[in-house]
C-alpha cells in the first residue's frame, strides 16, 4: 500500500516490493529472447539471488528508534545543563544565535528528509543551549517550575504512548490531516499575535497570561500531544515498510521537535498559573 509520507518515498523500503522502474519505453525481455542489436541476454533464471541470501542492507528496528531517540535527547539535556551552568548571562548570549541556527537547520532536515546523526545531534545540541537559557530564566522567576514542566512533559509523552499502543486512538489519514491543519493554524495565530503586539500592547492576548492565554496554551499542548501520535505511527510504518536503519535519526528528530515544543508550552502554561 503506497504511503502519503514523502519520507518513505525518498528512503525506499518495502513500498515497491523490491521492483525497479524500467523507465519510459523500456520493455521487459523474455527468457532467451535476444537483447538490443541482436545480442543474447545474460539473464539466467537459475542464477537469480535467493530470497534467503544475506543482504548488506540493515532494516530499521524499534531498537534503532529507541537508541537514536535516547541519544538525541541525552545530547539536548547535556547541552541545556551546560548552558544553565554558565556564569552570569552567558547563556542568554548564546541562546538567540542557537535558536536561529537550529530553526534553519530544522527546516532543512524537514524538507530534505535528512536522516543523519550529525544533523539530528547538532539540532538537539543547539536547541539544548536555548532550552538551558530559557529554563534558567523561568526557574529564577518561578522556583521549581522547570521540574514541574519536565514531569508534565514526560507524563504527556507516556500517556500518549499508552494511548497509541493500546489503540485507543488510531492514526488515520483523516486524523493526520486534522492534526497537521491544527498545528499550522496555531502557528499562524502565534505569528499574527506577534505582529499585532507591535501595533497593540499584548497583541491578541494569546501570551498575556489571562484566560484566553491559558485556553490557547491548553489547545497547543493538545495539538503537540496528538503530534506525538503521528511520530509514533511514523516509526511503526517505517519499520513495517523496511526503511533503512539510518531512518531512525529522522524519527528521533521528529520526536525531539515535538517534545521540545510540548515542554516549552507546558512551561508557559505553568507560569500563567503562577502569576
Which cell is 179 given? 492534526
Question: pLDDT at residue 39 above 60?
Answer: no
> Can you tell me the distance from the alpha carbon of 65 to that of 235, in angstroms, rounded to the nearest whole number?
7
Provide the whole-model pTM: 0.77
pLDDT tens figures, 49-78: 444 344 557 888 899 999 999 999 999 999
> Can you tell me the distance from the alpha carbon of 129 to that of 18, in angstroms, rounded to the nearest whole number?
43
Q: Which residues lie below 8 Å from residue 29, measured CB to CB, with a gap of 6+?
A: 35, 41, 43
> Can you tell me the distance from the alpha carbon of 40 to that of 70, in angstroms, rounded to the nearest whole number?
54
Helix (H, G, I), strand (E, B) or coil at 173: helix
Question: pLDDT at residue 15 above 50?
Answer: no
pLDDT tens figures, 102-127: 989 999 998 888 888 999 999 999 99
pLDDT tens figures, 77-90: 999 999 998 887 78
% of the chain exceeding 90 in pLDDT: 51
Count CB-CB contacts under 10 A for residue 41: 13
> Can you tell me the distance from the alpha carbon of 31 to that of 41, in angstroms, rounded to the nearest whole number?
8
Amino acid at each position: 500500500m503506497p504511503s502519503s509520507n514523502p519520507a518513505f518515498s525518498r528512503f525506499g523500503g518495502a513500498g515497491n516490493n523490491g521492483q525497479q522502474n524500467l523507465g519510459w519505453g523500456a520493455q521487459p525481455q523474455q527468457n532467451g529472447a535476444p537483447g538490443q542489436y541482436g545480442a543474447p541476454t545474460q539473464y539466467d533464471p537459475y542464477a537469480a539471488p535467493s530470497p534467503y541470501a544475506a543482504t548488506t542492507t540493515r532494516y530499521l528496528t524499534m531498537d534503532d528508534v529507541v537508541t537514536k531517540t535516547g541519544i538525541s535527547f541525552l545530547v539536548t539535556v547535556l547541552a541545556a545543563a551546560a548552558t544553565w551552568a554558565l556564569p552570569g548571562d552567558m547563556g542568554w548570549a548564546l541562546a538567540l544565535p542557537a535558536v536561529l541556527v537550529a530553526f534553519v537547520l530544522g527546516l532543512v532536515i524537514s524538507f530534505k528528509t535528512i536522516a543523519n546523526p550529525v544533523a539530528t545531534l547538532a539540532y538537539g545540541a543547539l536547541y539544548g543551549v536555548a532550552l538551558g537559557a530559557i529554563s534558567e530564566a523561568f526557574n529564577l522567576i518561578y522556583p521549581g517550575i522547570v521540574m514541574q514542566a519536565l514531569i508534565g512533559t514526560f507524563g504527556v509523552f507516556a500517556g500518549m504512548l499508552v494511548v497509541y499502543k493500546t489503540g485507543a486512538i488510531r492514526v488515520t489519514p483523516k486524523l493526520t490531516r486534522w492534526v497537521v491543519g491544527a498545528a499550522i493554524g496555531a502557528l499562524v495565530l502565534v505569528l499574527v499575535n506577534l505582529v499585532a503586539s507591535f501595533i497593540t500592547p499584548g497583541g491578541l492576548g494569546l501570551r498575556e497570561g489571562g484566560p484566553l492565554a491559558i485556553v490557547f496554551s491548553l489547545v497547543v499542548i493538545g495539538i503537540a500531544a496528538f503530534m506525538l501520535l503521528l511520530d509514533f505511527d511514523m516509526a511503526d510504518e517505517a519499520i513495517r515498510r523496511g526503511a533503512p536503519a539510518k531512518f531512525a535519526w529522522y524519527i528521533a528528530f521528529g520526536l525531539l521537535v515535538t517534545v521540545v515544543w510540548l515542554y516549552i508550552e507546558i512551561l508557559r502554561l505553568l507560569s500563567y498559573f503562577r502569576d
